[in-house]
Structure 1
Amino acid sequence: MFSAINDIDASEVEAIESMHKGLCGDGIDLYFSNVIKKVWDVLEGADLLNTIDKSISLPQTVKQLAHWRESLLEGDV
């Protein structure tokens, strides 16, 4: 788990974009949680949020985490 991020700049946006592309290439989704408005505005201004699914709900998240955990326990990941 990561600590809170209260500010973000262009180099960090680029790093997130790069990480997102790498994760997508491996079939892994990237999600954000509890993003403060200041950071959200920068991500939105950089057009990064158009490439990341913003519509996942809490039940979907829980279901995906359960599936991921099961895969880990079975040694599939």
Structure 2
Amino acid sequence: MLDKQDQMLDKQDQMLDKQDQMLQKQDMMLDTQKEMVELQHDLLDEVKDSRKDLKSYLDQRFEKLESDVIEMKAALRAKGII
């Protein structure tokens, strides 16, 4: 009977060791996931900044184009073409 109990206790110890290993692996996985989330946030910030820069640049270019079109229309009107 004691032998069976010893075997059972050994099995329980093995099971606890396996659970500890599993928990360590889960902790590692969580750390990896946290790193991935941080990298995703960094990437999102970079994309947002790029969009802001591009929007600012395009707004300036459109303003310049609109100004050029106004000047061209004025020149065409002055010549009587339109």
Coarse TM-score class (shorter-chain normalised): under 0.3
Quick check: which one's helix share is greater? 2
TM normalised by structure 2 equals 0.26
